[in-house]
Structure 1
Amino acid sequence: MSGRCLEIGLLLYPGVQLAAVYGLGDLFTVANDMAASQEREGTDRLRVSHWQIDDAGKVRRVFDSHPQAEGTPQVVILPPCLDASAGYALEMAYCRWLERLHASGVTLASVCAGAFPLAEAGLLEGRSVTTHWALAGELAERYPNVQVLPERMVVDDGDLITAGGLMAWTDLGLALVTRLLGPTIAAETARFLVVDLNRESQRQFSSFVPSFDHGDAAVLNVQQWLQGPAMVEANLAGMAARAGLGERTFLRRFRAATGLKPTEYCQQLRVNRARDLLEHSRQSIEQVAWQVGYQDSGAFRKVFARLVGLSPGDYRRRFGTAAR
């Protein structure tokens, strides 16, 4: 029996770097070959598609590696853009298409200047992102509600993944292979291509990756809200109000959609954010606990150890980069 066909769409907007478009396609082809070599039944594979505005002004597939397959993309990538003359803005048809996809649970990703069109479409408000170091100041100035982390190669913020420089499409590609096909396939793909499978890509796999494609719009609205600053002080009443549901109905639908109770889900998100701070900042563990929503650092340490298997201090000593 064959496994799932997981579609990754590449947006061919004006000025897009074609080397990244075709390079990502080659990377995902190699990943499929590595997965096929496992000789296991039910192995998933990656479907690569290209999307572009047609003469009628609609965004359509213009290339499909598995044209016999059905469904919509799990991920859509905005590759780098080499043409700054347009201000990195997208045509409205592209913006509306991305908004609809994101609202339905599709993960959006960008490389380098590809973060600008996502920001212009209003999809990065309150989120953490990265871009090319030379563009970070401009991105932060133009979109003050976006937290820009130029020192990072890849920032995985759940349903939004951004990568840094022009060649960071390799890092993004491997991160997506890790998420969709698993760390073994990602490691074999990197080895075959003779590129580094950096620690961040492995960390992204082991971190909590929420499901956004369950089809419950009210729950998805809450999930996307929690990916921003609301995560810190979120409570059941606030989440239910955001969903426009009574608390008992919200609890039932949230668990059905995500597989977790809202409190468990928030714990996972907070620990994910704490791991990021422990790796990349020099803040004390107490400060980290407070930033992710725990006023009691003792409670934070217990939750962190239960979900990660290491204490916050041991995790920082093993994976921290800020002091190196």
Structure 2
Amino acid sequence: MVETARPTHPGPGETGPAEIGLLLYPGAQAAAIHGLTDLFRVANLVATGEDESRPAPLRISHWEAADGAAAPTRVFDTAPDAAGAPVAIVAPPSLGASPTPELSAALAPWLAARHDAGATLASVCAGAFVIAGTGLLDGRTATTHWALEDEFRTRFPRVDLAIDKLIVDDGDILTAGGLMAWTDLGLRLVDRLLGPELMIETARYLLIDPPGREQRYYSPFSPRLDHRDAAILKVQHWLQGNGARGVTLAAMAACAGLEARTFLRRFQKATGLKPTDYCQRLRIGRARSLLEVGGTTIEQIAWAVGYEDAGAFRKVFQRITGLTPGDYRRRFAPHAAP
């Protein structure tokens, strides 16, 4: 018999259902809010065996942050007669622009107070801007959507951003990356509140993968080109044109018209990467495209992107993407063989 892990928060029969509050701020993605609501309702169905006479272990509420209001208020509640406060607050993604500094500042006191009272704070995608506005992420690790990396680092330089991670579970604060990562975050909260067995059953009911993916499976390599270093930009364009195949440090420095040591320093400052890492990411980006098309062996792809040793190619590919070439093809090629 498998023993189910004890939930972090008390379940029904102790102090009532565990409330998860979803934050409705201006611009929040409605699909994520309603999707999380349904996911937690499915967890309740699984937990009660679809017996409506049994008390549901989770209470789902929506908290609307109206313009000019001092604090969000409940506008939806699956257990309106129950007492207590949320054990978790979730800031969903936003559509369009990320939450403004003014919005983050307005919500910060209420979120900090809920956190001080023992609630777990969580975010999905751009919702991390809302949580980071409290200052509670300073000096801690978090994630957000890879396309928001530069903006987030600029606004919150004291946060240790792990942009490759789909979920960062830092105990009392959880952050998730992509727009659809609300499924991963929702299952993580179900795991925490109701235990791993019920989380797996919920995932099986919904036909979705349990948490365990990484954001780097999906994010393409987007080199920095706005650094205004003309010599380095010239090299980047040259590398893009030849696919970074067979290039040497000396050749790159010569292209830039710089001494090797100076080139190394300026290249890393401008791009954030060493030349070797940069070239590897360009090659792997090309390999991802070839794997997605299908019809070519992994050995042929390795050769096409500049690797004479297919084994070395596989190691670099997995280090950068988090998947082996074969796993990547099975996941992303539309007609991949099983």
TM-score, shorter chain, exceeding 0.5: yes
Contact 1:8 1:76 in 2 (8 A): yes
Answering whether residue 7 of structure 2 is matched by residue 7 of structure 1, we say: no
Partner of 2:155: 142
- The residue type paired with residue 124 of structure 1 is L
| Aligned residues between the structures | 205
The Cα shift of 1:94 comes to: 1.9
Q: Distance in 2 between matches of 1:195 and 1:71?
A: 31
Partner of 2:39: 27
Q: Output the CA distance in 2 between the equivalents of 1:85 and 1:187.
A: 32
Q: Distance in 1 between matches of 2:322 and 2:110?
A: 38
Bigger drift between 117-126 and 70-79 goes to 117-126
Q: Which runs of 5+ in 1 are unaligned?
A: 202-319
Give the 3-state SS of the residue equivalent to 1:166 in structure 2. Answer: coil
Contact 1:129 1:162 in 2 (8 A): yes
Task: Please name the residue that 1:102 is paired with.
Answer: 115
Whole-Å Cα distance in 2 between the matches of residues 62 and 26 of structure 1? 16
SS at structure 2 position matched to 1:14: coil
The answer to whether the 8 A contact 1:171-1:197 is kept is yes
SS at match of 1:76: strand
Partner of 2:170: 157
| Partner secondary structure for residue 205 of structure 2 | helix
| Amino acid aligned to 2:74 | R
CA distance in 1, matches of 2:98, 2:126: 12
Deviations 1:26-61 (A, max 9, x none): 00000001000198x997611000112357543211
Q: Which residue of 2 aligns with 1:132?
A: 145
CA contact (8 A) 2:19 2:61 kept: yes
Please report how far the alpha carbon of residue 86 of structure 1 lies from its aligned counterpart in structure 2 after TM superposition.
Answer: 5.4
Equivalent of 1:46 in 58, 62, 69:
58
The 8 Å contact of residues 89 and 116 in structure 1, kept in 2 or not, is answered as no
Confirm or deny that 1:193 pairs with 2:220: no
Secondary structure of the structure 2 residue equivalent to 1:84:
coil
Q: Return the letter of the residue paired with 1:123.
A: L
Relative to the length of structure 1, the TM-score reads: 0.58
2:100 corresponds to? 87
Q: Determine the C-alpha separation between the residues in 1 that align with 2:213 and 2:196.
A: 12
Change in 2 beyond 3 A, CA 1:38/1:103:
same
Cα distance change of structure 1 residues 323 and 25 upon mapping to structure 2, 3 Å threshold: closer
Cα offset, 1:142, TM superposition: 2.0
Alignment-derived partner of residue 237 in structure 1:
none
Which amino acid in the other structure matches residue 7 of structure 1? E
Q: In the alignment, is residue 69 of structure 1 matched against residue 70 of structure 2?
A: no
What is the 5 A alignment of 1:50-61?
50-53=62-65, 57-61=70-74
What's the counterpart of residue 226 of structure 2? none
- Does the 8 A contact of 1:6 with 1:44 survive in 2? no
CA gap 1:85/1:103 in 2 versus in 1, 3 angstroms: closer
Change (3 A) 1:187 1:86: closer
- Quote the Cα distance in structure 2 between the aligned partners of 1:115 and 1:72: 22
Unpaired segments ≥5 residues, structure 2 = 1-11, 215-318, 325-338
Following superposition, the deviation at residue 143 of structure 1 comes to 1.2
Structure showing greater radius of gyration is 2
Change (3 A) 1:113 1:89: farther
Say which is worse superposed, 179-188 or 2-11, in terms of deviation.
Answer: 2-11
The alpha-carbon distance between structure 1 residues 63 and 42, as it changes in their structure 2 partners (threshold 3 A), is closer
* Residue 164 of structure 1, CA deviation: 0.5
Find the counterpart in structure 2 of residue 242 from structure 1. Answer: none
1:155-213: per-residue Cα shift (whole Å, max 9, x none)?
A: 00010000010000000000000000011111111111110013479xxxxxxxxxxxx
- Pair 1:141–1:32, CA change in 2 (3 A): same
Paired residue secondary structure (2:22): strand
Question: Larger deviation: 168-177 or 129-138?
Answer: 129-138
